[in-house]
Amino acid sequence: MAEETISAVITALGEGAVGIVRVSGPQALAVGERLFKAASGRPLADYPVNTLVYGHVYDCDGSLVDEVLAVYMRGPRSYTAEDVVEIQCHGGLQSLQKILALTYAAGARPAEPGEFTKRAFLNGRIDLTQAEAVMDIIRSRSETGLKLAARQQQGQLARALRELRRNLLDVVVNLEAVIDYPEEDIEDVTYGRVQESIGACSARIAKLLANAHTGKILREGLRTAIVGRPNVGKSSLLNALLQEDRAIVSQYAGTTRDVIEEQLLLDGVPLVLADTAGIRSTEDFVEKIGVEKSRRLLQEAELIVCVIDGSEGLTEEDESILRAAAGKPCVIIVNKSDLALQVDLEALRRRFGGDRVMTLSAKTLSGVEDFSVWLKNYVYGSEGTLGDGAYVQNARQENLLRRALQSLEDAGRAVADALPYDCIEIDVRTAIDLLGEITGDTVQDEIINEIFSRFCIGK
C-alpha cells in the first residue's frame, strides 16, 4: 500500500470558496507536476517546500481547468509522513472532481476511507489514540469535546498508557531476572514490591476507567430519556431545557404519543434528549405504541430523567416507573414546585440518594439551573468541569483497559498466593499487550483496518 500514491478531495463536497485535493505517496510530486503549472513557469520542485505557489491546473488537452494554489510537502514533514502535494482550487463540485480525475490519470489511485490518517499511523507520525482523536475532532459536539479531542490528538492518553507499560515492563524484567538467575540475591524483587507495583498500575487504570463515561459522553452525547406518567410535565421540561416550544403541552393526558428527540448543548454537555409518551395502561392503539417505545427507551437510555408531579402524591404508575429506573443511572425531578408539595422528598432521597432527587418548576424555570449543575457534576465528577488528566474516549479503549485491569488483578492474586514468578509474569505481560493495543503498539492488522474504515474519505 505504501508504494502507491493516493489522492482524494479532503474538503466537504459542495459549493464553497475553496476546495482541496490531496495527493500522497512516493509519486506525489510527479503527479502534481503533470497537472499543475506555476504562473512563473518554474516547476513546483524548484520552490521551497511548504510554500504556496500560484498557478493553474490544465486538462490533458491543454485546456484550463482552474486557477489554483499548490503546495509541496516533503516527507516526513507532512500529515502522512510521505511526500504530499495539495492543490487548493475554487470550491465547486465540478472543479474538484475534474482535478481529482486528473490526479488519477497522472498515476494516483483513489484513497480509501481514512487512508491518509492510516498512513500517518503506519509511518509512525501518530499512534492509534491520536488517529482516533482526529475523527473525534471532526465530530465534536461541543467546545469541551473539541478540547478533549485536541488533547488526545496531542498524545495525552498515549503518554499515560506508555508510562504504565514501562512500569509494568520493569516488573517483568525483574521477574525474569529472578527466574533466570535464581542463585542471585536480588533484593528488589520480592512479592511485596511486585504487589506494590501492580497495585499502583491497577489504581491508575481504574482512574482512567472512572473517567471513561466522561469522554464517551463528550464524544457521542448523553442519551437521555425523560419518562413519567402522563401530565407530570415531561414535555414542559423538554421545552424549558430547549428554551423553545418544541413539544405540544396541554392539560389533557396522553398529548405526547410518540418519542420526540432533540439534541441540546447544556453548559457544554451534549445531550440527546428524548421526550417520551406518558407511561400508563391504555386501550388507545396509537398511544399504546408510544408507551411501548417509552418503555424501551427507559431500558436503553444512558441517563433516565424521571419526572413526578410534586403537587400530587405518588401513584401506582409513578411507583412502577421508579421501580423500573431503580439501579440505572437516573435523576428524579419533582416537577411543579411552584405548587404545594405533596411528595415525600426525604423518602425519595433515602431511596435514590440525596443528590439524585431535586425539585423543579418547568413553568417558572425555577430549579432548571440546579439540574444543569447536577448534570455537569454527573458528567465531569465533583469538580463539575473537565480535569487535566487523560480520558478514555471510546468503547474500544475502555474494553481493553478493563481487560488489562482484570489481568493485573489476576497477577495481584497470584502474588498474594505466592505463586511462582512465571505465573505472575504471564498476567502482567497480558496487561502490557492490552495497553499496547490501545496505542497501536501491539494491535493486529484487521483491527487497524476496522478502525480506519470508519473514517471519511479524504481523512
Q: What tens digit of pLDDT does each residue of 74-118 get?
A: 999 999 999 999 999 998 889 999 999 999 999 999 999 999 999
Q: Minimum mean pLDDT among 168-177, 283-292, 441-450: which range?
A: 283-292
Report the distance separating Cα 271 and Cα 149, nearest Å: 18
Mean model confidence pLDDT for the chain: 84
The pairing of strands 84-91 and 16-24 is antiparallel
**Where in 360-456 does DSSP place strands (E)?**
none
Contact 57, 99 (CB under 8 A): yes
Cell for 389?
488528566
Which distant-in-sequence residues (6+ apart) come within 8 Å of 272 by Cβ?
Answer: 221, 222, 223, 224, 261, 262, 263
pTM: 0.77
Pick the more confident residue, 395 or 89.
Answer: 89
208-218: pLDDT as tens digits: 998 888 888 88
Cell digits for 71?
Answer: 503546495
Question: Which residue(s) pair with 269 in the sheet?
Answer: 266
Identify the band that residue 409 occupies on the pLDDT scale cut at 50, 70 and 90: very high
Predicted local confidence at residue 140, as pLDDT: 80
Is the pLDDT confidence value at 354 over 90? no
pLDDT at 66 over 90: yes
Cell of 36: 499543475
The predicted structure's pLDDT at residue 256:
44
Provide the pLDDT for residue 269.
78
CA dihedral 396, 139, 386, 384 (to 10 degrees): -100
Higher pLDDT, 226 or 288: 226
CA 403 to chain CA centroid, Å, is 20
Percent of the chain with pLDDT over 90: 39
- In the chain, pLDDT over 70 holds for what percent of residues? 88
The pLDDT tens digits of the residues spanning 239-277 come to: 877 776 554 333 434 444 446 677 778 777 788 877 765
pLDDT bucket at 4, cuts 50 / 70 / 90: very high
Tell me the per-residue pLDDT of 142-197, one tens digit each, with 9 for 90 and over.
788 888 888 888 889 999 999 999 999 998 888 887 777 666 555 445 678 888 99
Task: Spell out the alpha helix ranges (H) of 154-272.
Answer: 156-180, 191-210, 212-220, 234-242
Q: Which residues pair with 307 in a beta bridge?
A: 333
C-alpha–C-alpha distance, residues 73 and 25, integer Å: 11
Residue 159, by phi and psi: left (phi above 0), alpha (psi -120 to 50) or beta?
Answer: alpha
Checking if the pLDDT of 68 tops 80, the result is: yes
- Which has more pLDDT, 354 or 203? 203
DSSP codes joined into one string, 146-186: HHHHHHHHTTHHHHHHHHHHHHHHHHHHHHHHHHH-TTS--
The answer on pLDDT for 29 being more than 90 is yes
